[in-house]
Amino acid sequence: MQDAPADEVQDELTIGQEQVVELLSYITVNLVEHSEDVTIDILRQGDRDVFRVKVHPEDLGRVIGKGGQTARAMRTLLQAVGAKTDQRLGLEIVE
């Protein structure tokens, strides 16, 4: 069995991935002004799932937060979910 190439986007979501997408979506949509521009992609990097949250450029600061506090809190939530489900999860925020 070969490892998946880095940055491979998955077609099928597992139940755990769906739940993480729902959590990130709920948080992000309620933070931003342009909720219609929020998209979340999952990239597989080795043994880690990286959730890439894309937002409107004007909303980038809202999602990152003052001094990165909001992004850090979102990553902490992902670490908690990952610890409970024995997964390695990451978060990228892009415009």
Cα of first residue to Cα of last residue in the chain, in angstroms, is 35
Residue 95 clears pLDDT 90, i.e. is over it: no
Q: Report the mean per-residue pLDDT for the chain.
A: 89
Residue 3 clears pLDDT 80, i.e. is over it: no
For the chain, the maximum distance between any two Cα atoms, rounded to a whole number of angstroms, is: 44
pLDDT at 36: 97
Q: Cα(69)–Cα(75) distance, rounded to whole angstroms?
A: 10
The CATH number assigned to the domain with range 8-94 reads 3.30.300.20
Nearest to 7 by CA among 48, 53, 55, 54: 48
Spatial neighbors of 74 by CB under 8 A, at least 6 apart, are 24, 27, 91
pTM over 0.85: no
Per-residue pLDDT tens digits for 33-68 = 999 999 999 999 999 999 999 999 999 999 999 999
